[in-house]
Amino acid sequence: MEIDKEKFKKKYPKINEEIEQNSSKIKIDSVEKKVELPKNNKNKENLRGYDPTIIDFIRRCTTLEEADSIINYLEKRGEISKKYAKNIRDKIKDKGIRSFGPKKSENYYFEKSEKITES
């Protein structure tokens, strides 16, 4: 779908501002070996404000093609570097998709937030 740049700017001014300022880019330059919820996100607020990482997305994948499409997408958007993307692809090739951790279930975050709340 294509949209005229000016129409987009009028319809979505905040998104356009983020795109123009590149303010939504996050540099990630390492591959996690042990996957767990970051300490700063372990709160009793049901994971409110938690931003999933590329590892979180890969752990939801079933096939290598799904993982590769996620890597390509985040690399294209500039959210991960080419070097980091290569490291992830290499790890998947060498050790498999589950080397980042077990597959996350459909209700993973809901179940995780319940456990945190119970703590």
Domain total of the chain: 1
Domain that holds residue 62: 26-118
The 8-class DSSP code of residue 24 comes to T
C-alpha dist (Å) from residue 117 to 31, 41, 97, 108: 29, 12, 30, 14
pTM of the model: 0.53
C-alpha dist (Å) from residue 38 to 16, 35, 80, 97: 30, 9, 18, 21
Cα-to-chain-centroid distance, residue 34: 16
Answer yes or no: is 15 within a domain.
no
Answer yes or no: is 65 within a domain.
yes
Answer yes or no: is 77 within a domain.
yes
Q: What is the pLDDT of residue 12?
A: 83
Answer yes or no: is 5 within a domain.
no
| Cβ within 8 Å of residue 27, ≥6 positions away | 80, 81
Q: What is the pLDDT of residues 94-108, one digit of tens each?
A: 999 999 888 886 766
Answer yes or no: is 54 within a domain.
yes
| Candidate from 33-42, 77-86, 89-98, 108-117 with smallest mean pLDDT | 33-42
